[in-house]
Structure 1
Amino acid sequence: MSQLFEMDGEILWYPSNGPARLFLRQVSVFEAEAGRPSGIGPMVNDECRIDPAAFRPFANALLAWYRTTTHPVMTAMAEGFIGTVLVLAERAGMELEWRTPARPPKSLSPADAATAVKLAEALDRRVDDLRHASRELGRSMTR
């Protein structure tokens, strides 16, 4: 048996029960981390509707959270869920905020500013890696 996740009448994902159940159980955890609602509704009659007005800001909030969370265990635990969200967002044709401009505060010394820019670039590379991983994951996510 399978579940389906849809947005505006378009099926974004048609997983089996196990992955759907695990994904839905993680939603509240990441809503708390992102500080906003996901727009991912409850499963009703094997269907889960996703509200695009809430989902896009949620996906972008997850990207911002991931970009600033450097603890390796936290990022490892988050990557599967966030990767799944990114697949759904891209399938829905949503524009995501993959980059944050690297603008260090003016009060930093030139050396500290250069370090801040390098850190921002490293975090952007990590987000690029997540983007690539989510695209690979998408190949396994049935529609």
Structure 2
Amino acid sequence: MIMLDTLARHNRAGGAGMSQYFDMGDETLWNPSNGASRMFQRQAAIFEAELALPSGIGPMENDECQISPDTFDTFVNALLTRHRRTSHAVWLALSEGFIATTLVLAERAGVEVNWAQHGATPEAPFEDVQVSTATGMSTPPEHEVWAAGLREKARELERRMPR
């Protein structure tokens, strides 16, 4: 165990690391492998472009990345709003892993997610709607089922996301 602690300190000090750190202030929210970190950062850039909002996830420097609390809060809630407003199966499949990972970080960061605010309303029309070939209609998931599904995916990932 001492050897692992020494390796972790060496990595944080700028050594050749095998993992990276997503921090908020002095607290580490996540310590993924380099590959998982790169994929997450690239997906964050894609969703920043999709939402036309910064994520609050800073650049990776010396194996560390700072997350800006207020900007990240805004991004997380906008991401959930966008996810809730689509019923396109492919868009949902492509986005759910990133969103579940982001929800774990949000929970660890103390971001308050008001699940009720992300329900679809007439003022918030659905986007990227996929029409069923069987019925010719789109049926978005019920709010409670939608929220429960994302929370469950986040809980499953949380156990596999070291700090």
TM-score per shorter chain, which class?
0.7 to 0.9
Aligned length: 130
| Identity among equivalent pairs (%) | 53
Give the aligned partner of residue 131 of structure 1: 151
Give the aligned partner of residue 30 of structure 2: 13
Contact 2:22 2:29 (C-alpha < 8 Å) held by counterparts? yes
Residues 1:103 and 1:80: Cα distance change in structure 2 (over 3 Å): closer
Contact 2:30 2:162 (C-alpha < 8 Å) held by counterparts? yes
Contact 1:63 1:127 (C-alpha < 8 Å) held by counterparts? no
TM value normalised by structure 1: 0.84
**1:42-57 paired onto structure 2 within 5 Å:** 42-57=59-74
1:26 aligned onto 2:43: yes
TM value normalised by structure 2: 0.74
Distance in 2, Cα, partners of 1:128 & 1:99 = 12
Residues 1:80 and 1:102: Cα distance change in structure 2 (over 3 Å): closer
Distance in 1, Cα, partners of 2:72 & 2:26 = 15
Distance in 2, Cα, partners of 1:59 & 1:132 = 17
Give the aligned partner of residue 142 of structure 2: 122
Deviation of 1:103 (Å): 5.6
Give the aligned partner of residue 93 of structure 1: 110
Give the aligned partner of residue 69 of structure 1: 86
The equivalent position to 1:78 in structure 2, one of 95, 105, 111, is: 95
Distance in 2, Cα, partners of 1:102 & 1:40 = 27
**Could you say which structure has the higher helix fraction?**
1
Aligned CA-pair RMSD: 1.8
Deviation of 1:102 (Å): 6.4
Structure 1 segments of 4+ aligned residues over 2 angstroms from their partners: 100-105
Contact 1:4 1:13 (C-alpha < 8 Å) held by counterparts? yes
Aligned-partner SS, 2:58: strand
Distance in 2, Cα, partners of 1:102 & 1:75 = 15
Contact 2:84 2:120 (C-alpha < 8 Å) held by counterparts? no
Contact 2:85 2:120 (C-alpha < 8 Å) held by counterparts? no
- Structure 2 unaligned segments of length 5 or more: list them: 1-17, 124-138
